[in-house]
């Protein structure tokens, strides 16, 4: 089968939004090359990526693959339009470039997997691609993940910082809401850290499908995946809410998150570019006490507690 490769060069800030667009339009797979992540991970003890991928650049390259069919060109136009529409949400797409080329099945369908190896986040969590073998150390928590289908592999700074906060804040018998769950990685980690019940919500059909698959891969029966516009479909209250989404959505949802948390509940927020740090802190601090702020690359994560 022939495939159309759609390759986009963009900013770090727009990475997750553009990746989501690719999936929503029907990509069969997406590969993200973020040099900042790769340089950092290459220095660690984890064999995560080939050194050849380390380059001196602050740009992100997103490659998406679509079956070559009569309507594929229409999809390309839709992708372009939706990416340009991100400017309405104050997302900087950087020195944007867009190119397409035809490739064969074998050129991408499996070769991208060589870049993904087991790697550790925080003190205990290990992200393990499903096709890799790994023998865990004592007390390590292994998350089985298929990162080729949706964003949220654990390698992105925002995901890593959320996991580090979850390690220190999820308590036995907690109820956790994961808002904008993507692959479900934060929900899976919360469950394996001891949460009693986890609700993973996303508005994107692809994310719902992939999160459901990854929950099954990890054999978890206490994680429920729901399609929801933010918190709208969630009933009851949570002990902890994690939202790895963009700054504007966090600002918009802050009061609803406050209302959905039990007394002294914990709110972990990320997906926030540094330039929006003050805006988000202003919104959160109206209803929450700021406990800690992590910074990694161009991103921040905020740990807060309900007032």
Number of Cβ atoms within 10 Å of the Cβ of 154 = 23
**Which stretch of DSSP H or E encloses residue 259?**
helix 247-260
Looking at the fold, whether 206 and 242 belong to one and the same domain comes out as yes
Last residue of a domain, one of 115, 143, 170: 115
Looking at the fold, whether 284 and 154 belong to one and the same domain comes out as yes
At residue 28's C-alpha, the angle toward residues 298 and 121, to 5°, is 40
Looking at the fold, whether 188 and 110 belong to one and the same domain comes out as no
- The C-alpha atoms of residue 173 and residue 220 are separated, in whole angstroms, by 15
Q: What pLDDT, in 10s, does the model give residues 206-259?
A: 788 888 989 999 999 999 999 999 999 899 999 999 999 889 999 999 999 999
Looking at the fold, whether 300 and 184 belong to one and the same domain comes out as yes
Looking at the fold, whether 107 and 152 belong to one and the same domain comes out as no
| Closest of 269, 259, 266 to residue 237, by C-alpha | 259
> What is the CATH classification number for the domain harbouring 94?
3.30.70.120
Looking at the fold, whether 176 and 105 belong to one and the same domain comes out as no
Angle between helices 277-284 and 247-260 (to 10 degrees): 20
Looking at the fold, whether 14 and 87 belong to one and the same domain comes out as yes
Last residue of a domain, one of 115, 140, 157: 115
Looking at the fold, whether 129 and 194 belong to one and the same domain comes out as yes
Domain that holds residue 31: 2-115
Looking at the fold, whether 88 and 129 belong to one and the same domain comes out as no
Looking at the fold, whether 138 and 269 belong to one and the same domain comes out as yes
Name every residue whose Cβ is closer than 8 Å to that of residue 100 and which is 6 or more positions away in sequence.
4, 5, 6, 7, 76
Q: pTM of the full predicted structure?
A: 0.72
Last residue of a domain, one of 94, 115, 136: 115
For 128, 210, 211, the CA distances from 217, given in Å and listed in that order, are 11, 10, 10
Sign of the CA dihedral with 162 first, then 164, 165, and 170 last: positive
Looking at the fold, whether 100 and 127 belong to one and the same domain comes out as no
Q: Tally the domains of the chain.
A: 2
Looking at the fold, whether 23 and 65 belong to one and the same domain comes out as yes
Q: Could you list the pLDDT tens digit for every one of the 307 residues in the chain? A: 788 889 999 988 888 889 888 877 888 778 777 665 544 443 333 333 334 334 435 688 898 888 888 888 888 999 999 999 998 888 889 888 999 998 876 666 565 566 677 888 989 999 888 888 899 888 899 999 875 544 445 567 888 999 999 999 999 999 999 999 988 999 999 999 999 999 999 988 878 888 898 999 999 999 999 999 999 989 999 999 999 988 999 999 999 999 999 999 999 999 898 989 999 999 999 999 999 999 998 899 999 999 9
> What is the CATH classification number for the domain harbouring 297?
3.40.50.150
Q: What pLDDT, in 10s, does the model give residues 171-218?
A: 999 999 999 998 899 999 999 999 999 999 998 887 888 889 899 999
DSSP 248: H
């Amino acid at each position: 089968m022939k495939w159309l490769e759609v390759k986009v060069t963009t900013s770090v800030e727009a990475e997750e939004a553009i990746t989501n667009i690719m999936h929503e339009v029907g990509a069969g797979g997406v590969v993200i090359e973020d040099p900042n992540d790769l340089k950092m991970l290459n220095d660690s003890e984890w064999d995560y990526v080939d050194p050849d991928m380390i380059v001196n650049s602050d740009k992100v390259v997103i490659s998406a693959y679509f079956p070559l069919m009569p309507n594929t060109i229409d999809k390309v136009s839709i992708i372009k339009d939706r990416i340009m529409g991100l400017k309405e949400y104050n997302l900087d797409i950087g020195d944007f470039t867009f190119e397409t080329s035809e490739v064969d099945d074998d050129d991408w369908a499996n070769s991208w997997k060589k870049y993904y190896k087991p790697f550790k986040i925080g003190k205990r969590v290990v992200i393990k691609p499903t096709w890799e073998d790994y023998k865990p150390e004592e007390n390590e928590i292994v998350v089985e993940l298929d990162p080729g289908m949706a964003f949220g592999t654990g390698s992105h700074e925002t995901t890593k910082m959320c996991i580090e906060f979850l390690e220190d804040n999820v308590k036995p018998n907690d109820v956790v809401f994961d808002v904008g769950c993507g692959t479900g990685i934060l929900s899976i980690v919360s469950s394996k850290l001891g949460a009693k019940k986890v609700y993973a919500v996303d508005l994107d059909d692809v994310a719902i499908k992939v999160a459901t698959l990854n929950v099954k891969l990890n054999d978890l029966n206490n994680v429920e995946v729901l399609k929801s516009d933010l918190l709208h479909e969630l009933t009851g209250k949570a002990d902890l809410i994690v939202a790895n989404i963009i700054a504007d959505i966090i600002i918009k949802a802050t009061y609803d998150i406050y209302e959905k948390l039990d007394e002294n509940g914990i709110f972990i927020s990320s997906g926030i570019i540094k330039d929006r740090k003050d805006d988000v802190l202003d919104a959160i601090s109206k209803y929450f006490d700021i406990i800690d702020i992590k910074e990694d690359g161009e991103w921040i994560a905020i740990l807060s507690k309900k007032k």
